[in-house]
Structure 1
Amino acid sequence: MSPIRLSDLAYTIDSVLEENFGGKAMWVLAETSDIKNYPDRQYCFLGLVEREGNQTVAKLDAVIWRKNYPILRAFEAATGVAFARNIQLLMLVSVTYSPIYGMRLEIHQIDHAYTMGNIERERQAVLDTLVREHSQYVWLDQGQYITSNQMLDRPAVWQRIALITAPNSDGWRDFRQELANNPWGYQFVIDEYLTQVQGQGADKAICTQLEQIAGRATPYDAVVIVRGGGSQLDFGAFDTLRMGVAVASFPYPILAGIGHDRNISITDMMCHQSVKTPTKAAVFLIEHNRIFEENCLQLAYRVAEASRVAMQNAREEVDILTDRFRYGTQTYLRNRHVELAEKATTVRHLDPINVLRRGYALLSRNGQILTSADAFRPGDDVQARFADGTVQLIVTDAE
């Protein structure tokens, strides 16, 4: 067989591809890999692969040229997912070939709905696994996911906090500043567990920090996981089965403020309390403590008011009892005074002087009062006392 020139082979391939694929576009399902994006030049080179398990069964190069480059922004805006590797996409592509650069697929459109549906299917599969294989920590109740971490009691006051975040990140800064600048001057003790919170392996890194927190003797009031803003793909670490199990079963209340506005992650669904941002996580802690203080102030006011009312009632009761006692005493003394007056009158009436004044005499002998005629003997020397004086008598006869 006579050899042919490489250019002849290339043009033959070009002719065959043009005949079969020229001017045609088709929808292709593939996974992204090896992305080289050039936003300033507005084109993107990438690889498209198909896998069966861990085996790659097909791989082709692809490109998004300037005329179609806006589809990347449209994709990210519609899905909240950063255009990156390992994303399953449904794309409208055409086959292009260059004798110099080889064959590529030119991407014209990306089906946003497919990507969103695929992400949701993967997330639902994780949730189903949590309920099925970890039912001691996660269960469904009237369509709501309930976890052991959600059932933990909240302390009256949040004081000692374990903070999981990336070092010197916006999330770390926002959370610390909001706590430090709270208008009521509340003080918090914060132990930092700094680690990667997004990207490949972030879920494992976060779970390692959770294991360290659980293994310490420090009784934390809460664990706070925060991160700054970012694309939806950066939240992949918070949608894994590993994170779901770790958060749902954790022995301290977990507060998640992972900076998202669009979707709710599995971590949000499993944790004790979920808020949108690191700042709102700090606000949640502050407001909880403020409610406790207000309740204490209200109780103090109620105690003071109850004491004031009790003292007023007691004072009024004492006044009433005092009036009753005064009235009773006065009545008693008045009655006793009347009785004494009556007795004094009786005593005055019975006074021997008064009796003598009515014409009677009091006879006595040798100082002894004589009340019977038999007591007299002739010759006795008797004293007769009258009202106005005493007379000495001698008894001459006694019958």
Structure 2
Amino acid sequence: MGPNQYIRLSQLSSQIQDAINAQFKGQKYWVLADITNHSFKADKKIHYFELVEKSETGSTITAKILGKSWGGGALKILDFEITTGQRFTNNLHVLVQVSVDYHPLYGLSVNLLDIDSNFMLGILEQQRNATLARLVRENDYIWKEREEYSTFNSRLKLPVVIQRVAVISSSSSAGNEDFRHTMAHNDFGYVFQIDDYHTVVQGDNNAKLFLNKLIEVYNTGIPYDAIVIARGGGSQSDFLIFDNYGIGRAVAKFPIPIITGIGHQKNVSITDLMAHTQTKTPTKAAEFIIAHNRSFEENILSLQRTIAIKSQQLFLGHYKELNRIKTLVSNNARELTAKHREQLNAARQQLAVNSGAVLHANQKKLLVASQQTLQYPKMMLVERTGELLQLKNSLKTFSNVYLRRQELTMEHHQKSIKMMSPHNILKKGYAIVKFNDAIVSSADGINEGDDFEVILKDTRLISTVKEKIQYDGREPDL
């Protein structure tokens, strides 16, 4: 190979640079791609990254080129982050304006000149709408009513007074501190029991940790009145966890009312839509709970005032009615007293007249009765004397008959006792069996080989059981 058959690498790179500059110098292109391998040099305000294009399945990369952005391009990226709330980082699908550049030392790359914020907002909104549609489609306890969402959680009834609260937040959350401060220093002196359940509350990849914390609250079995999800401010990307399908589904079906105070001022997250009550910040969540309890207290105070007023009105009305009745009773009593006084005077005069006549008539009756009374005892005495003589004779006759009858009965009993005596029974051929010095009528406790005693009329036999045969009381077959 001769000296004129090769060139230096720098010469080749210069030719490539000239060719690329001739083709692409001054040209700008809007490119749709994904961001990977992003890094940011804060001291120089330079972004380094790769633009890649993936296949439709997303499994392979079909194109890749280095990219960088500084100066005006870096300012455009900052505007993008402020507008969308989305940090410029890996795995973003973006629409960017670039220019092509080739450097002999660093190779081919593109310079990012601008980035379309509306395109990113559209993607985020599409993802959010798709998640909401999936929640409604796959879960029968989530309904969409016009532009509002009704969930099992949102349909729960808040307790009339909220006292026991579980708070899910970051362990270093300033929002949780604001919530606790507002609850503890309320103007009405309400006292709350607040239990903390710390977890990571940012980043969609931490959704599983958040779900586990919800499950932990449920598994405690503590009857919380409400659960508060508290988080302070941050970039929009920090809140992507609250647009997660799994978290939205869990919040929607949770059996305890959930109040959100996530801290974002611009948008409403899916978790907000699925929860019972959404507020903008942890402080607003605390103010909502305090206002809820204050509403109950005001209703009680209002009811107390109403009862007092109604009682006074009833008392005044009944007091007037009692005075009226009192006056009416007094007047009627005087009229009745005067009327009855006249009736009593008339009755007294009539009584004096009638009593004289009654006394005269009864005096005659008494004279007749006194004469009859004097004669009646003599007649009764004669009758009773005759009855007593008759009773005396009857008693004497009856006693003689009764005594004779009892004598016959005694004789009969004596004969029966004599016939039933053991001595007479033994004479008839019966015997008495004794075992262990006790009379027995059954052989249940007597076994073969046992000794027993047989008592006859004039003899006692001591025997031993040789054989024990069951007997039903009938004559054996001969």
Give the TM-score band, short-chain normalised: 0.7 to 0.9
Question: Partners of 1:270 and 1:233 in 2: how far apart?
Answer: 20
Is the Cα contact below 8 Å between 2:229 and 2:258 reproduced in 1? Answer: yes
Counterpart for residue 218 of structure 1: 222
Q: How does 1:60-99 map to 2 (within 5 A)?
A: 60-99=65-104
Aligned-partner Cα distance in 1 for 2:52–2:327: 101
Local SS of the residue matching 2:21: helix
Shift of 1:83: 2.2
Shift of 1:345: 7.2
Cα distance in 1 between the residues matched to 2:22 and 2:173: 55
Of residues 266-275 and 65-74 in structure 1, the stretch that sits farther from structure 2 once superposed is: 65-74
CA shift in 2, pair 1:211/1:56, >3 Å = farther
Q: Answer whether contact 2:33 2:93 (CA < 8 A) is retained.
A: yes
Amino-acid identity (%): 38
Aligned to 1:166: 170
The residue that corresponds to 1:126 in the other structure is 131
| Partner amino acid, structure 1, of 2:110 | L
> In the TM superposition, what is the alpha-carbon distance from 1:221 to its structure 2 partner?
1.1
Partner of residue 451, structure 2: none
For residue 267 of structure 1, report the CA deviation from its aligned partner.
0.8
Determine if the alignment matches structure 1 residue 338 to structure 2 residue 342: yes
Partner of 1:112: 117
Q: Is the 8 A contact 1:179 1:286 kept in 2?
A: yes
Per-residue CA deviations over 1:302-336 (Å, capped at 9, x if unaligned) read: 22222222233332232222222212111100112
Give the length in aligned residue pairs.
354
Unaligned 5+ segments in structure 1 are 353-363, 369-399
Q: Deviations over 1:122-172 (max 9, x none)?
A: 1111111111112x1212223422211111111101111110000121111
Structure ranking higher on relative contact order (CA contacts 8 Å, 6+ apart) = 1
Q: Deviations over 1:32-52 (max 9, x none)?
A: 223222344332222222233
- For residue 210 of structure 1, give the secondary structure of its aligned residue in structure 2: helix
Alignment of 1:322 with 2:337, yes or no, is no
Q: Name the residue aligned to 2:44.
A: 41
Structure 1 segment 268-307 matched on structure 2, within 5 A: 268-307=272-311
* Contact kept? 1:195, 1:205, Cα under 8 Å: yes
Instruction: State the match for 2:180 in structure 1.
Output: 176
Quote the residue 2:9 is aligned against.
Answer: 6
Q: Check whether the contact 2:77–2:114 (CA below 8 A) recurs between aligned residues.
A: no
* Range that drifts further, 215-224 or 299-308: 299-308
- 3-state SS of paired residue (2:310): helix
Instruction: Kindly state the Cα deviation for residue 346 of structure 1 after the two structures are TM-superposed.
Output: 7.3
1:373 alignment counterpart: none
Which of 3, 10, 32 pairs up with 2:35? 32
State whether structure 2 residue 253 is matched by structure 1 residue 249: yes
SS in 1 for 2:94: strand
Counterparts in 2 of 1:193 and 1:351: CA distance versus 1, 3 Å? closer
1:239 matched to 2:281? The reply is: no
SS of the aligned residue for 1:82 comes to: coil
Residue 357 of structure 1 is matched in structure 2 by none
Q: Is the 8 A contact 1:27 1:92 kept in 2?
A: yes
1:11–1:99 CA contact under 8 A, matched in 2: yes
Q: Which digits, 9 at most, give the CA deviation of each residue in 1:273-330, with x for residues without a partner?
A: 1111111011111100010110111112222222222233332232222222212111
Give the drift of 1:258. 0.6
Q: Which amino acid aligns with 2:236?
A: Q
Q: Which one has the bigger helix percentage? A: 2
Instruction: State the shift of 1:94 in Å.
Output: 0.5
Distance in 1 between the 2:6 and 2:276 partners?
A: 72
- TM-score where L is the length of structure 1: 0.82
Name the aligned partner's letter for residue 48 of structure 2: F
Q: Which moved more, 1:303-312 or 1:185-194?
A: 303-312
Amino acid across the alignment from 1:188: F
SS in 1 for 2:160: coil
Q: Report whether the alignment pairs 1:148 with 2:168.
A: no
2:187 partner SS:
coil
CA distance in 1: counterparts of 2:42 and 2:72, whole angstroms: 13
Q: Any idea what SS the aligned residue of 2:86 has?
A: coil
Pair 58,137 (structure 1): closer, same or farther in 2 beyond 3 Å = farther
* TM-score (normalizing by structure 2): 0.69
Q: What's 2:202 paired with?
A: 198
Equivalent AA in structure 1 for residue 293 of structure 2: N
Pick aligned residue for 1:100 from 93, 98, 105: 105
Contact between 2:265 and 2:280, CA under 8 Å: does it hold in 1? yes
Separation in structure 2 between the aligned mates of residue 239 and residue 55 of structure 1, nearest angstrom = 28
Aligned equivalents of 1:102, 1:202: Cα separation in 2: 38
Conserved in 1, the CA contact under 8 Å of 2:204 and 2:244? no
**Greater CA drift, 156-165 or 84-93:** 84-93
Alpha-carbon deviation of 1:240? 1.3
**Aligned 8 A contact 1:64 1:106 in 2:** yes
- In 2, the alpha carbon distance for the partners of 1:254 and 1:347 equals 92
CA distance in 1, matches of 2:250, 2:228: 14
Contact 1:80 1:262 in 2 (8 A): no
Q: In terms of mean alpha carbon deviation, does 47-56 or 123-132 score higher?
A: 47-56
Local SS of the residue matching 2:34: strand
In the alignment, which residue of structure 2 is the partner of 1:57?
62
User: How many angstroms does 1:351 deviate by?
Assistant: 12
Separation (CA, whole Å) in 2 of partners of 1:286 and 1:211: 26
Q: Secondary structure at the match of 2:120?
A: helix
Alignment-mate amino acid for residue 91 of structure 2:
N
Quote the RMSD (CA, aligned, Å).
2.4
Within 5 Å, give how 1:371-386 maps onto structure 2: none
Instruction: Give me the whole-angstrom Cα distance separating, in 2, the residues matched to 1:311 and 1:87.
Output: 76
Partner of 1:18: 21
Give secondary structure in 2 for the equivalent of 1:69: helix
Gaps of 5+ in 2: 365-478
Q: Note if contact 1:165-1:225 (Cα within 8 Å) is conserved in structure 2.
A: yes
Q: What SS does the corresponding residue of 1:313 show, helix, strand or coil?
A: helix
